[in-house]
Copies of this chain bind each other. A is one copy, B any other.
């Protein structure tokens, strides 16, 4: 049996998901939807698919699943439409920039009984998931402290930042998800601070480019996250988890294993350039996981609820940073 799929968004992440799903046995890319018709046509042609508009794709009863890679402000509508049409949904993060709309999505997919998976691809990274498996196997005893380093090679255009929801929702959302996944615990209090160190225009846009977040969990565990929009040496994605019986680190991935000895240094490659390269395997594995869940009725590893929890942390961090104070999670939940 073959599932026909519609991909929404023919940008770089859409192209990656399209190529990966085209390699899944039992999956056929039928439609590519994008307001940029040229981009849609190019991607469709590459995989023997057709161009459609939203209504056309959503209205086609043969489409069993949607893959949403369009801009963030369209996510919620497309999830709701998919649910209404009883189509399974894979949606890039974030679900939405507001918790209300994210909750509406969660309700809709639950009622429709469709699979809805959020694209926290890091949970599928071979290094990260191997580490998680070892934690679960008890290798380091009780997890106690998580240190997350998450730095981009360079800041996006200020215009992008202006509509991004702020660095905590745009960039740390992944790190907040890693925090919850790795510690298997929820935040009790959170403190966030930050600075603009790379480009004053980011401050003018009301955002920051460097952050330092500390979370204390309900069980008293500690998590520190440091992020920067710009690391001169590239994309830096590491974390380490200290447990009562040992420690596990997830290191960067290098393009090659060449080591060079010169007069002055012993050197190896800088990390993979950016997320498309670093998480290449993770993107392939998450799409396989999604269709495996769809085909065999298995639970997905990254749910809408996970997306909402990460968003809550991003909101708490934004508040903590703005008011320069410790925030208790749920303190505004009256």
Q: How many copies does the complex hold?
A: 4
Contact across chains for A326 and B195 when beta carbons are under 8 A apart:
no
Total residues of chain A contacting the partner, CB 8 A: 73
Closest to A233 in B: B261
Contact across chains for A212 and B210 when beta carbons are under 8 A apart:
no
Contact across chains for A266 and B270 when beta carbons are under 8 A apart:
yes
Sample of 17 more A-B contacts, CB < 8 Å, known A142-B197, A263-B270: A131-B256, A145-B210, A145-B228, A147-B149, A189-B193, A191-B326, A195-B220, A195-B221, A195-B222, A212-B214, A232-B243, A247-B260, A249-B258, A251-B257, A253-B257, A266-B268, A266-B271
Closest to A193 in B: B216
* Chain B residues within an 8 Å CB radius of A226: 145, 147, 222, 224
- The complex places the Cα of A326 from the Cα of B196 at a distance, in Å, of 20
Contact across chains for B191 and A233 when beta carbons are under 8 A apart:
no
Closest CB of chain B to A330's CB: distance in Å? 16
Q: Contact mask A283-320 → B, CB, 8 Å, 1/0? A: 00000000000000000000000000000000000000
Closest CB of chain B to A141's CB: distance in Å? 7
CB within 8 A of A228: which of B140, B144, B191, B265? B144
- The complex places the Cα of A198 from the Cα of B245 at a distance, in Å, of 11
Q: Contact mask A144-162 → B, CB, 8 Å, 1/0? A: 1101010100000000000
- Indicate if A72 sits at the interface (CB-CB under 8 A): no
* Chain B residues within an 8 Å CB radius of A259: 248-249, 251
Contact across chains for B197 and A221 when beta carbons are under 8 A apart:
yes
